[in-house]
Structure 1
Amino acid sequence: MTEIIQGQVIAAFGRQYLVRMADGSEIACLTRGKKSAVVCGDMVEIKLTGEASAENDAQGVIERIAPRRSLLHRSETFREKLIAANVTQIIVVLAAEPSFDDGLLARCLVAAHDQQLDALIVLNKCDLHDAAAAARKRLKPYRAIGYRVLELSAKQNVSQLRPLLQGHTSVLVGQSGMGKSTIINALLPDAQAATREISSALDSGKHTTTHARLYRIDDSSSMIDCPGVQAFGLHHLSFGGIEEGFVEFAKYRGQCRFYDCRHLHEPGCALQHAVEAEEIDARRLELFRQITAK
């Protein structure tokens, strides 16, 4: 009987996966059947189909996915696309310049709340002082409701980020131009070389640059990079689930005049009253309306 061994998926391309074993070795694997729900970060059980030799690396078949601690979906354009599993922290990378999309930020924070993940906002390019001041003002409502905001200049120093990664499997997301790649390369100088090794192992060339990859930072910390992913899909969430992701709305829940209030312009809307009383940031309510309208 062929031995079943356990490992973690560190990269994927189509139905090909690279699985890292407990001893640090990596095995290229396939799944059975045409459809696969395996994603980067999954803990899996595999069965070897070919032993390592001087000419070939070991190969295997994924037989089972272990229960997941968390699961993230790609944004609505790819509604059924799963992108990462077993994440414990979402890091949203913003920049002082160019201006960031706070709608994408809000969506990421809702996804974090839904999966019970820690959330960290990183404001990059803070050496651009005037732009940083404006960005800092936009993030003030997020600090006020308890979100952590770390300010840095990735081209100069990312050392203050390292302690916040300890013990976590963090996923980094951000719009183009925010400096996410700069942060990854500063934290993981060997990341580009690792990507080339993954491409070679999966025989997939440059295409792996558009797929999630997991990098080991140390024995207790990992990072998943999801190239091209700016926000996470929320289509699987109900109206109430999205509402819960706006954490400052919690104390007003159930206080609207109508039980099915959509928090638009209904009379007696507790959230609208809270905005008028400056207890809730008006922009946050606007973002909620935009997300639930889609």
Structure 2
Amino acid sequence: MNSPLLPGRVVSAHGRHYLVEMADGSERHCYPRGKKAGAAAVGDQVLIQPQGRDEGSIEAVCERRNLLYRSDEQRTKQFAANVDQLLIVVAVRPTFSDDLLGRALAGAWSADIAPLVVLNKIDVAEALQAARERLAVVRTLDVPVFEVSALDAASARQTLLPHLAGKTSLLLGQSGMGKSTLLNVLVPGAQAPTREHSQALDMGRHTTTSTRLYHLPEGGDLIDSPGFQAFGLQHLSAKEIERGFPEFAPHIPACRFYNCMHLHEPGCGVLAALAQGRISPARHALYARIVRENEQGQHRY
């Protein structure tokens, strides 16, 4: 007779192999079994059938509050579930991508997840003001922007930990932004590998290769994910893309057509606000790119 199913939480994912944390704090190496289990993601609550001392099969994935995906040139992949907030790490140097930051924000808002931005490496004084100016549009969207240097561990913890306590936060960042260094500051003992960015190419190299959930000593959880150089949104519907640009919302009721795409339609409230300077041209241009990419099935940026 099989033993009863036990609840657990996925804390690490490697393909279709998962590490599941049980209620007593122990961990089991698990794999999904049957259609009900489906594909799990880090942060999922699951029911497992224990097997042996430290293994098990995932029999079901419990209902999720949300699920985050991202796409690359080959596929769309789910990678985190039941997230309260998205912690997007950018840096003074190397140069961060406004396009990737905008896509990450859109992905968060489309899933009703609150985004926060961390500007890292503020000790690079000569480039700090330029980075701040590039984040001005983000600040106008009421997104909190926290300035830290991961090299000043005590100050970084003091700045960030109060906003992470009691929540599940997904740590996301373009490669080279110092995300792994910041993780090591926030979660002593995480021992995430770090690597200097390539100054010649002005870009980072991937150091995190899988998604993993860590418990913060002061309470709350932090999910670390691989650094990215692309953040696709091919899984989003037209309405979900629209939701990823919340500054459009006050102007949509003024649109003449109920199915307005806010691109070239006559009587569009969003385009009117754009013309009046009430919506950022760069943000609207990003919206238009995402819509067209999804319509054409493109996976390149």
How far apart, in 1, do the equivalents of 2:10 and 2:234 lie? Answer: 25
Q: 1:41 to 1:109 in 2, by over 3 A?
A: same
Match of 2:44 among 42, 50, 58: 42
CA deviations 1:215-258 (Å, max 9, x no partner) are 11147411111114456542232222212211111111032455
Letter matched to residue 235 of structure 2 = H
Is the counterpart of residue 27 in structure 1 residue 28 in structure 2? yes
How far apart, in 2, do the equivalents of 1:77 and 1:167 lie? Answer: 35
CA displacement at 1:80 relative to structure 2: 3.8
CA displacement at 1:76 relative to structure 2: 4.4
Match of 2:63 among 44, 49, 67: 67
CA contact (8 A) 2:32 2:39 kept: no
Letter matched to residue 14 of structure 1 = G
Is the counterpart of residue 112 in structure 1 residue 108 in structure 2? yes
CA deviations 1:42-79 (Å, max 9, x no partner) are 111111121x3xxxxx2211111111111111224354
Give the TM-score normalised by structure 2: 0.83
> Which portions of structure 1, spanning 4 or more consecutive aligned residues, are displaced by more than 6 angstroms?
none
CA displacement at 1:85 relative to structure 2: 1.0
CA displacement at 1:184 relative to structure 2: 0.5
How far apart, in 2, do the equivalents of 1:30 and 1:219 lie? Answer: 31
How far apart, in 1, do the equivalents of 2:28 and 2:226 lie? Answer: 23
CA contact (8 A) 1:92 1:172 kept: yes
How far apart, in 2, do the equivalents of 1:240 and 1:43 lie? Answer: 28
Report the secondary structure of 1:27's partner residue.
strand
1:79-90 alignment, distance < 5 Å: 79-90=75-86
Percent identical pairs in the alignment equals 48
CA deviations 1:9-38 (Å, max 9, x no partner) are 111223221111111111111222599411
Question: Which residue does 2:170 correspond to in 1?
Answer: 171
Q: How many equivalent pairs are there?
A: 275
How far apart, in 1, do the equivalents of 2:285 and 2:261 lie? Answer: 12
CA contact (8 A) 1:79 1:235 kept: no
1:1-294 alignment, distance < 5 Å: 1=1, 2-33=3-34, 36-50=38-52, 52=53, 58-157=54-153, 158-159=156-157, 160-192=159-191, 209-218=208-217, 220-229=219-228, 232-294=231-293
How far apart, in 1, do the equivalents of 2:149 and 2:109 lie? Answer: 27
CA contact (8 A) 1:174 1:231 kept: no
Q: Which piece of structure 1 moves more, 65-74 or 256-265? A: 256-265
Letter matched to residue 22 of structure 2 = M
CA contact (8 A) 2:181 2:192 kept: no
RMSD (Å), alpha carbons:
2.3
Q: 1:262 to 1:130 in 2, by over 3 A?
A: farther
Q: 1:223 to 1:265 in 2, by over 3 A?
A: same
How far apart, in 2, do the equivalents of 1:29 and 1:235 lie? Answer: 29
Report the secondary structure of 2:119's partner residue.
strand
CA displacement at 1:271 relative to structure 2: 2.8
CA contact (8 A) 2:28 2:55 kept: yes
How far apart, in 1, do the equivalents of 2:117 and 2:255 lie? Answer: 31
Q: 1:122 to 1:231 in 2, by over 3 A?
A: farther
Q: Which piece of structure 1 moves more, 32-41 or 153-162? A: 32-41
Question: Which residue does 2:202 correspond to in 1?
Answer: none
How far apart, in 2, do the equivalents of 1:281 and 1:80 lie? Answer: 28
Letter matched to residue 116 of structure 1 = D
CA contact (8 A) 1:108 1:231 kept: no
Question: Which residue does 1:202 correspond to in 2?
Answer: none
Letter matched to residue 45 of structure 1 = L
Report the secondary structure of 2:175's partner residue.
coil
Show structure 1 runs of 5+ residues with no match: 53-57, 195-207
Question: Which residue does 1:200 correspond to in 2?
Answer: none
